[in-house]
Amino acid sequence: MAEEAIVSAQGLRHRYRGVLALDGIAIRIAPGSFTAVLGPNGAGKSTLAQVLGGVLAPTEGSIRWSGVPARARSLVPYGICLVPEGRRLFGELSIAENLVVAGYGAGLRGEALHIRVAHVAQTLPESLRDSMQARLAMSLSGGERQLVALSRALMCDPRLVILDEPSMGLAPLMVDKVYDTLTELQAKGVAVVVVEQIATHAVDHADQLFLLSRGRVVYSGAPTEQTVADAIKSSYVGAAS
């Protein structure tokens, strides 16, 4: 029998007033997989990330987390964490304090909280780890923010992290760092979903690809050379690829 999916959804539709953002999406995220959801502006990627991450209820369709049709707003008990577009750290708090707040939200207290912060800090580059008590999130570069936002998501000890446009606005070297961290996570058994407009890194790392266009899946499967080339050609994945 196939391993139970962390998330599986059928017939997802989402409408914002007059706009049909998702139009009948089926998706399955297996434990330890690396999925890239790609598409141009307005394809519905962020909407899908929010639905899969449990922060937006779809207008129609069924969605199950670890086989359970969850109603809870927080998916922390299911081991699912969303890193939203724009990172949304608390700017006036230090890096360490951002981690503590996330751990608190995940129900950790006292010694368990401190142990998790120390553990998660290991995923940060040394320069950030050494300054995590003193540096405020507002002083970080875009890439550093992305790395801290990812480590914050790890405070809930996730089985799945969903990242909305993790490479947006980052210098190529920083994108490499973010994807290296994601690969290390996958090696530890964490499933990863990245939603990206720029395909290059996502395609190199993913074992499953979903191409979206106008709220529909126009390709799903392995990122073969041909599908990637076709996608780039038909500009589903953006000119920068």
Residues that bind ligand ATP (CB under 6 A): 16, 19, 21, 39, 41-47, 197
Tokens of 91: 């700017």
Query: 22 or 117: whose CB is closer to ligand ATP?
Result: 22
φ/ψ of 4, rounded to 5, equals -65, 135
Taking CA 40 as the corner, what is the angle to CA 13 and CA 214, rounded to the nearest 5 degrees? Answer: 30
Give me the least distance between CB of 11 and ligand ATP, in Å please.
17
Query: 63 or 155: whose CB is closer to ligand ATP?
Result: 63
Give me the least distance between CB of 59 and ligand ATP, in Å please.
12
Of 65, 25, 29, 68, residue with least CA distance to 45: 25
Query: 43 or 150: whose CB is closer to ligand ATP?
Result: 43
Give me the least distance between CB of 163 and ligand ATP, in Å please.
13
Query: 46 or 131: whose CB is closer to ligand ATP?
Result: 46
Give me the least distance between CB of 49 and ligand ATP, in Å please.
8
